[in-house]
Homo-oligomer: A and B are copies of this chain.
């Protein structure tokens, strides 16, 4: 963490895209997480096999990966980037009444892929939400954030608050 507001013009204070022309091309990885809190009825249905949980989670994984590749078209000040890899894992924790989503994105570029990982996890979470909302309108996404980041000048970052 630092004091520099890289995304704002120092003179006007207005939001801007950071110029990454002089940054080095290095391998960069970001891992983001998103947790859905669900009701007991939905837990039951997801466990009972009335709906094919695997199928629903694969739909969400696919949506998240496709969205990650649109990050630069969704988040205004984000740079469009090549991507080496993007993957998402989704698991049900019945006792906790939670669905946990973890996304991992890797690139070889001048800037990191935190936003790509966050978009992937979020859109996957919203896709699960969409498919289950008829049963459980109270679903909430209770926690979304960056868990880990490696590569780039600032080195490794782990957010302990984002541990499961």
Contact = CB atoms under 8 A, between A and B. Distances in A.
A146 B126 CA distance: 11
Contacts of A92: none
B58 A77 contact: no
A36 to B, nearest CB: 10
Interface in A9-68: 12-21, 27, 41, 45, 49-52, 54-56, 58-59, 61-63, 65-67
Contacts of A127: 75-77
Contacts of A51: 5, 8, 13, 15
B138 A145 contact: yes
Interface of A: 1-8, 12-21, 27, 41, 45, 49-52, 54-56, 58-59, 61-63, 65-67, 69-70, 72-87, 106, 108-110, 114-115, 118-119, 122-123, 126-127, 129-146, 149, 157, 159, 161-162
- The 3 A-B residue pairs with the shortest CB-CB distance in the complex, in nearest-first order: A13-B52, A19-B85, A140-B145
